[in-house]
Structure 1
Amino acid sequence: MTRPPTAAQRRVIDAADAVTGRLKGTESQLAALVRHGLAFRHPRPPHAHFLTPAGHRIREESSRQAAEAAGPAPPGPGAAPPDTSGVFAARVGGEDAPEAGPARVREVHSAWQGLLELRRMTTTDGVVDRPCAWERTHLVQAAALTLEAAGHRPAGAGSDAGGYRVRATPQPEAVAVREPDAGALRGCAVTLEKAGWQVSEHAEPRTGARYLLASPRRS
């Protein structure tokens, strides 16, 4: 890419699906994004356009800037502050968030279905049993969505809160999944393996606490 996207192109990027990155716009707008390396045209019908990792980064940066400009809105009595980012975020564990209700369950289900569609549309053989390129560039978010969509409970705020926590690691293409309950940790491993992740179990050298290392399977 040689120059920033125009205002019209940014609007197309900002309006992309939060999970799949699928774009809507005029043919000229989409073609320009492809030329700049911010989008690609899927080779199979209906030849939809999707954000590349560079396009996703621009969208996420725009969302952060919009959230910072809006500032925190004062919540009503007993209400959680609204999410002003406009970007779906799977719960990685440790967030100060309310218990998942029906609306959250629907939101997670929709995001998971969108991710499966992205897998289908962006793999050469149209399979959905292994992670796609977007997941490899959003490892923590992808692993957390896989777990949350399968019904696993994310940890709440506080270091001693039960539930899973997904964190980045120094290893390339690997995340760590921690869960204090041994049975729940094994359940997380099964879920990730079924979704196309390679999983191995390890122990912390000093504490002996068990955790998982998970990375997207390539074939």
Structure 2
Amino acid sequence: MTRPPTAAQARIIGAADPETGRITGSSAQLARLVVLKLAFRHPRPPHAHFLTPQGHRLREAASGEQPAAAPSAPTALSGPSAPDGVFRARLGGEPDAGLSPARAREVRTAWQGLLEIRRMTNPGGAVDRPCAWERGRLAESAALALEASGAAPASGERPGYRVASTPQPEAVAVRHPDAAALAACGAALKAAGWQVSEHTGARAERWLLASPRRA
């Protein structure tokens, strides 16, 4: 962005939902905010508009809120959240994977960005299945889908999901100590466009094998 938003644009940004970043305004106003990279249009009907991380930062600065580290795009989907503000998908096992409103917003923004990548790169603009970008980052993409669904990663003594790569091409393993939570992880991945099968390990523990669906 080369210049600050107009007063009308600032009012739209200031009135955004603080959690989801959803904004309302005229078609022309919303389109201009998209051009300024302060908002994006959701690819699914009703095609609502939401603030980008840059738009969130402007809203927080204007309202005096403490800014949260927000992702600019889901370009670094690995490891814990970093002080540089780059979004990191949580595979499970990170020592400080706290659950906070700021983290929830980061995850929502990253997931919306990933859906936009699907729309732009999948044949026919399909957003109901993973894209090539995700197939190059299997564990991180699966972890983002899980966290976006509301599942919590394992952290310290807190139980949660764990995602790991496998020797099988284009497949990841998902584990959770709770059977019901593991089933919920499977349902979340299926809803995100992954093929999921359940297996039993050497110690009778249940785990999931998940692969990105192609069609």
Shorter-chain TM band: 0.5 to 0.7
**Aligned AA for 2:180?**
G
Residues 133 and 82 of structure 1: is their aligned pair in 2 closer, same or farther, counting only changes over 3 Å? Answer: closer
**Aligned AA for 2:139?**
V
Alignment of 1:131-150 (within 5 A): 131-150=130-149
Residue by residue, what CA displacement relative to the aligned partner does 1:132-189 show, whole Å, maximum 9, x if unpaired?
A: 011000001000000000100110135xx41100001111100000001000000000
What residue number does 1:7 align with?
A: none
What residue number does 1:115 align with?
A: 114
Query: In structure 2, how many angstroms separate the alpha carbons of the residues matched to 1:185 and 1:144?
Result: 13
Residues 85 and 137 of structure 1: is their aligned pair in 2 closer, same or farther, counting only changes over 3 Å? Answer: farther
RMSD: 2.0
Query: In structure 2, how many angstroms separate the alpha carbons of the residues matched to 1:124 and 1:82?
Result: 32
Equivalent residue in structure 1 for 2:209, among 186, 203, 213 = 213
**Aligned AA for 2:206?**
R
Alignment of 1:49-198 (within 5 A): 83-157=82-156, 161-198=158-195
Query: In structure 1, how many angstroms separate the alpha carbons of the residues matched to 2:153 and 2:146?
Result: 8
**Aligned AA for 2:211?**
S
Query: In structure 1, how many angstroms separate the alpha carbons of the residues matched to 2:195 and 2:103?
Result: 28
**Aligned AA for 1:211?**
W
**Aligned AA for 1:183?**
A
Gaps of 5+ in 2: 1-74
**Aligned AA for 2:171?**
A
Give 1:87 deviation, angstroms. 2.8
Query: In structure 2, how many angstroms separate the alpha carbons of the residues matched to 1:82 and 1:104?
Result: 9
SS at match of 1:113: helix
SS at match of 2:143: helix
**Aligned AA for 2:207?**
Y
Give 1:190 deviation, angstroms. 0.5
Following TM superposition, the consecutive aligned residue runs of length 4 or more in structure 1 with deviations greater than 4 angstroms are none
| Identity in percent | 60
Number of residue equivalences: 139
Give 1:123 deviation, angstroms. 1.1
Query: In structure 1, how many angstroms separate the alpha carbons of the residues matched to 2:140 and 2:113?
Result: 14
Residues 172 and 190 of structure 1: is their aligned pair in 2 closer, same or farther, counting only changes over 3 Å? Answer: same
Q: Does 1:200 align with 2:176?
A: no
Gaps of 5+ in 1: 1-58, 61-80
What residue number does 2:29 align with?
A: none
Residues 86 and 154 of structure 1: is their aligned pair in 2 closer, same or farther, counting only changes over 3 Å? Answer: same
TM-score, with length taken from structure 1: 0.60
Query: In structure 2, how many angstroms separate the alpha carbons of the residues matched to 1:82 and 1:140?
Result: 16
